[in-house]
Structure 1
Amino acid sequence: MEWTGARYADKPTVEVGTWIDAPPERVWALVSDVTLMPGMSGELRSVAWLDGADGPAVGARFVGHSGHEALGAWSTTSHVIECEPGRVFAWAVQDPANPSAIWRFRLRPENGGTALSEWMQLGPGRSGLSAAIDRMPDKEQKIVFVRLREFERNIASTLGHIKKRAEA
């Protein structure tokens, strides 16, 4: 059977989880503070809340500045779409009705600590990846596959940083 892989329009996703020996409240304080994320991410350089917001709430917005050796530097505005303290924190990148990506942390108490997962979805709105696909449409599935694997590695690294901080 020939491997076909996902296309961008399929809104492909990736999710990574970990268990943290700390209560959900401590983990929540870390995952919901977007200004901490640049110190835990390989691509995110800086983050700032917008419109006078100083923390997560549905409808709050923040700007993130990122960089990648193959994709260059870019900035995006994200919109908080889910915020249940101690349980879930999610944001849509760019247009919440047609996001270029959606990111979500889920927390749940487990074995005296916290089960934490980070999930992301590419698309359906256009992103920096769309330009690469436009240039090489015959390589779309490979481009999507490679980018999802990068996200998977980056998420695993971010979760490792969160775990280390929460357990300290």
Structure 2
Amino acid sequence: MEWTGARYADKPTVEVRAWIDAPPERVWEIVSDVSLMPGMSDELQSVHWLDGESRPAVGARFVGRSRHEALGEWETTSHVIECESPRVIAWAVDDPSRPAAVWRFRLEGKDDGTELSEWMQLGPGRSGLSFAIDEMPDKEQKIVFVRMREFERNMTITLGRIKRLAEER
């Protein structure tokens, strides 16, 4: 597990990697289609583009609805902050100048396939986790640690699902 920091203000990160037996262009078709992501994630329930957009470009926005057993249900607006086909797509959750989180997929052609990484940074803007920390400030490090482990586990599952889908064709 690669994550740094134990406090929310440290903007902890986690990154997961997978090698996929498919070219970057094929993997890009999947990771850049945010409408497919609810099928890749157990937490993300639905996604839809805003402003008449239908694919990623810097500045495009989409709404995601998520559900978590302990945190409930919530909706966020994400802003695409990087988009370079077929290499990288990234988005900032809520306020792009002070995001609740930043998510990024990187693709690198390697050994006739693709090395895919999914990376995320928590904070610095407030998120649902902030409310749990507000309620139990003495447990902040444990709360952050547990959530980062959840992200790592869920990202590993997501990459496995992307791998299967990309390699099917």
Q: Shorter-chain TM-score: what band? A: over 0.9
1:57 maps to what in 2? 57
2:145 maps to what in 1? 145
TM-score when normalising by structure 1:
0.97
- SS class of match (2:18): strand
Q: 1: CA distance between counterparts of 2:88 and 2:37?
A: 16
Quote the offset at 1:22 in angstroms.
0.1
1:13 maps to what in 2? 13
Unaligned runs of 5+ in 1: none
Quote the offset at 1:95 in angstroms.
0.1
- Deviations 1:121-168 (CA, angstroms, capped at 9, x unpaired): 000000000000000000000000000000000000000000000000
2:131 maps to what in 1? 131
Q: 1: CA distance between counterparts of 2:32 and 2:148?
A: 23
Q: Which amino acid aligns with 1:160?
A: G
Q: 1: CA distance between counterparts of 2:141 and 2:67?
A: 22
1:106 aligns with 2:106: yes
Q: 1: CA distance between counterparts of 2:59 and 2:53?
A: 10
Could you say what the CA RMSD is over the residues aligned between the two structures, in angstroms?
A: 0.5
2:72 maps to what in 1? 72
1:82 maps to what in 2? 82
Q: Which amino acid aligns with 2:164?
A: K
Q: 2: CA distance between counterparts of 1:84 and 1:51?
A: 20
| Residues paired across the two proteins, number | 164
2:38 maps to what in 1? 38
Runs of 4+ aligned structure 1 residues displaced above 6 Å come to: none
- SS class of match (2:70): coil
TM-score when normalising by structure 2:
0.96
Unaligned runs of 5+ in 2: none
Q: 2: CA distance between counterparts of 1:42 and 1:146?
A: 17
Quote the offset at 1:60 in angstroms.
0.1
